[in-house]
Structure 1
Amino acid sequence: MPPGTLAPVADPRIVDLFAGPGGLDVAARWLDVPAIGIEWDPNAHRTRRAAGLVSEFGDVRGYGPHAFPDANVLCGGPPCQTFTVAGGGSGRRALDEVRELAHRLVRERVLSPDTLAALHDERTRLVLEPLRWILRAKDGGRAFRAVVLEQVPAVLPLWETMAELLGTEGYVTAVGVLRSEQFGVPQTRRRAILVARLRSDVDRVRLPAPTHQTYRRGVPRDEGDLHFAPWTSMGDALGRRDFRVRSNYGTGGNPQDRGTREWYEPAATVTGKVGRNQVLPYDGSPAERFSHAEAGLLQTFPADFPWRGSDIDQQIGNAIPPRLAAHVLDAVLGLGTAPERYDEFVARSWGPTREDPEEEDASLLTDLDAVGSEKDPQPIG
């Protein structure tokens, strides 16, 4: 093995918490790594089943690593609504408290429902679930060999706390914020990433190194750092030219000042409201909206990925871009994928899809009602 090369995880098998429609699982399939995702939203689950992704429909709090004995890699992107800048911010305000609860979870190995109730918002509590799984697996004698966690940048302080705690549990870690356009995604999305490997396997782990230029407004990509590939534009991804996009979000806090991007630039962050963005042709024809397939392409999902259910824009906006996820997985698992293969991955057809019986969809909705009625989750630990 060349000096500096990370030893690969032997026979990696992923369990993906909060799996959504499958951003990370699509990346895992590209890399030939088996993955099973846990997801409790029936719409995202319908998409996963149509795509043939291995899935478990349910609440991650009702499971643990013992239910997936073959999995040796834990991945997770907990819900971000309370942490995101676009949300109400309750998670950001509770961040210090969540960090303290993470310390308590490592010390005590259990947190009672009464303790967690102090966080008020159930979604905020979910960010501690990956740590619960990691500790349960380690205490059960089957520690995960690798870990990948992702969230909005506001969660970086919590990931730094978790990295410190994982260091006391026998892991080496790396934490940082990655810019998606630096990895060939046609979008300026930023994600806080934590990766970890068992110290008994390796003495260090790193985040993936950028392959593409950083996007800077007003700087043409042919004037960027020539050591990197040019960033990918919306026009490159969609095969369209001569349009601009007006964002649904205001700029600088002014809802009337909605930012615009030209076809030769990367998209702004694709959110669950991507369908509200206006696509404005230069020739003055009526404004358009991105189709689901086009919004998925801006996230680097395959053009024929089988979106299903309702609220598809939200599914797309919630997902990690598969191309970014593939870079992160490759780095932490030590797979050594050739850089030129990433363009091949994104260009692939997803292939045959699976249609779901209507009665099964109805049962999913019934199951979700039952899950959602559980006001007091089981203790974490």
Structure 2
Amino acid sequence: MILDLFAGPGGWSHSLTVLGVRDVGLEWDQWACKTRALAGQLTIRTDVAMYPVWPFVGRTYGLIASPPCQAWSMAGKRLGLLDQPLVHQAVADLAQGRDTRERLLASCQDERSLLAAEPMRYLHALNTVDEPEWVVMEEVPDVLPLWKQYAAILRAWGFSVWTGILNAADYGVPQTRRRAILLASRVRTAEPPAPTHAQAAEPESLFGPGRAQWVSMATALGWGATDRPVPTVCAGGGPGGGPEPFPSGSRKTLTDARDRGHLDPTGSREPAVAGVG
């Protein structure tokens, strides 16, 4: 099976469905679980930090983990940065089979910080039977140092690992969302997918095909406005992965744009949204 920790409403699950495979998601939020149920996704409603690993041992070939970002995101207080040494310690201990989570949790400024160490609890147990075959993890950019710690441990266990920051806009998503990614595999070289898009379109060259321009929200929604400059709303691409200021430095919203007549899909002035959320 493919095990999806902190499965949320099903972003990873939907992608896997498109590829013709399914996962089992662990998620505690009732509304996320209801969303998954309506989409036909397999879900265990539980606290990832409390659920035992043994039911998955000997049965898991893929592990996905996207721990909650609230402790680290710029949209919050970012207390995860203060807790980061404790999270690193928890990962190191769990990799050795020592569960010190309760002791370390008592010292955390934000109890959610330690959830970023939970994937190692599962990985250590699964590694006893040479599982999983591959691992994918995702978080806000500030968590990249933690992913590098995971990478060092996974390499010692025989994985090929890549870590880095990827931007969703570089892959045709109408959103400038930057995330810290970990890719690991026991059977192939881990490397990120080649970007398909760029902020400015790139022509074909001797080195290969060019990249298309980032997809605007207007284009994604089929609102046209491809023949002239249009307003661009940006969010979700700040250094910490949370909301970022608009390019002008002012706090604009989609409502502001609508009130100026830019968001009328039947009119002549539609928006291009590089990223929202």
Please report the TM-score for the alignment, with normalisation by the length of structure 1: 0.60
The alignment status of 1:209 with 2:194, answered yes or no, reads yes
Question: Match for 2:67 among 61, 78, 81?
Answer: 78
Aligned to 2:144: 156
Measured after TM superposition, the shift of residue 62 of structure 1 is: 2.6
Question: Match for 1:49 among 9, 30, 37?
Answer: 37
Question: Match for 2:251 among 251, 258, 261?
Answer: 258
CA distance in 2, matches of 1:287, 1:78: 34
Aligned to 2:184: 196
Unaligned runs of 5+ in 1: 1-12, 216-220, 260-275, 289-296, 300-315, 318-381
Aligned to 2:219: 236
Aligned to 1:185: 173
Please report the TM-score for the alignment, with normalisation by the length of structure 2: 0.80
Q: Which has the higher helix share?
A: 1
Measured after TM superposition, the shift of residue 20 of structure 1 is: 0.5
Q: CA RMSD in A?
A: 2.9
Measured after TM superposition, the shift of residue 277 of structure 1 is: 3.8
Aligned to 2:257: 280
The one-letter amino acid paired with 1:42 is: Q
Asked if structure 1 preserves the Cα contact closer than 8 Å seen for 2:172 and 2:214, the reply is yes
Percent of aligned positions with the same letter in both sequences? 34
Asked if structure 1 preserves the Cα contact closer than 8 Å seen for 2:61 and 2:132, the reply is yes
Asked if structure 1 preserves the Cα contact closer than 8 Å seen for 2:176 and 2:274, the reply is no
* Superposed counterparts of 1:220-231, under 5 Å: 221-222=200-201, 224-226=202-204, 227-231=210-214
The one-letter amino acid paired with 1:258 is: R
Measured after TM superposition, the shift of residue 241 of structure 1 is: 4.2
CA distance in 2, matches of 1:105, 1:75: 18
The one-letter amino acid paired with 1:232 is: V
* Superposed counterparts of 1:117-128, under 5 Å: 117-128=106-117
- Residues 86-125 of structure 1: CA deviation (Å, up to 9, x unaligned): 2101001222332233222223432241233222422111
- Residues 286-335 of structure 1: CA deviation (Å, up to 9, x unaligned): 978xxxxxxxx999xxxxxxxxxxxxxxxx95xxxxxxxxxxxxxxxxxx
The one-letter amino acid paired with 1:251 is: P
Aligned residues: 252
CA distance in 1, matches of 2:194, 2:52: 32
CA distance in 2, matches of 1:111, 1:191: 28
CA distance 1:51–1:128, shift in 2 (3 Å)? same
The one-letter amino acid paired with 2:251 is: R
Question: Match for 2:91 among 75, 81, 102?
Answer: 102
- Residues 245-289 of structure 1: CA deviation (Å, up to 9, x unaligned): 6568663899x7126xxxxxxxxxxxxxxxx6426248x44978x
Measured after TM superposition, the shift of residue 71 of structure 1 is: 2.4
- Residues 110-160 of structure 1: CA deviation (Å, up to 9, x unaligned): 224123322242211110111110001113x25211100000001001101
Asked if structure 2 preserves the Cα contact closer than 8 Å seen for 1:37 and 1:55, the reply is yes
Question: Match for 2:77 among 67, 88, 105?
Answer: 88
Aligned to 1:270: none
| Matched position secondary structure for 2:251 | strand
CA distance in 2, matches of 1:281, 1:212: 28
CA distance in 1, matches of 2:139, 2:106: 22
CA distance in 2, matches of 1:54, 1:241: 38
The one-letter amino acid paired with 1:233 is: S
CA distance in 1, matches of 2:78, 2:192: 27
Asked if structure 2 preserves the Cα contact closer than 8 Å seen for 1:245 and 1:277, the reply is no
CA distance in 2, matches of 1:115, 1:250: 32
- Residues 31-64 of structure 1: CA deviation (Å, up to 9, x unaligned): 1122111111011111111111111111112324
| Matched position secondary structure for 1:176 | strand
CA distance in 1, matches of 2:97, 2:17: 37
| Matched position secondary structure for 2:142 | helix
Aligned to 2:239: none
Asked if structure 2 preserves the Cα contact closer than 8 Å seen for 1:72 and 1:146, the reply is yes
